[in-house]
């Protein structure tokens, strides 16, 4: 039984295509790491911005608007419009919103 011997020397360099593929793979891995870090920073900034906006809304004095469509609804007249619990006026011709 005989073995097939390779044609090239045993210590030869890999083909150019294999070297290029290895370089391309390394570049893509590095780009992936950089993009992952950038995505984490953008997500963290967006979360901080959302929390700041929520805290600002909570701190601001926002008005509460209520509309009572029926007489049986807490004794309010039909079409009554309230802002912060005070009667502001009536919406004529409207019984439901």
Q: Indicate whether 27 pLDDT > 70.
A: yes
The pLDDT of residue 28: 97
The structural domains of the chain, with segments of one domain joined by +, span: 18-61, 63-97
What's the whole-model pTM score? Answer: 0.45
Q: Which of 91, 51, 54 is nearest to 70 (CA)?
A: 91
Q: What is the pLDDT of residues 49-76, one digit of tens each?
A: 988 887 776 677 666 666 665 555 555 5
Q: Indicate whether 11 pLDDT > 70.
A: no
The pLDDT of residue 75: 52
Percentage of the chain beyond pLDDT 70 is: 58
């Amino acid at each position: 039984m005989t073995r097939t011997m390779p044609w090239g020397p045993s210590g030869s360099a890999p083909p150019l295509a294999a070297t290029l593929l290895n370089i391309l793979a390394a570049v893509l891995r590095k780009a992936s790491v950089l993009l992952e870090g950038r995505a984490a920073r953008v997500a963290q900034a967006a979360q901080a911005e959302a929390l700041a906006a929520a805290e600002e809304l909570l701190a601001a004095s926002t008005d509460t608007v209520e509309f009572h469509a029926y007489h049986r609804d807490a004794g309010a007249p039909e079409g009554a419009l309230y802002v912060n619990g005070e009667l502001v006026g009536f919406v004529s011709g409207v019984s439901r919103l």
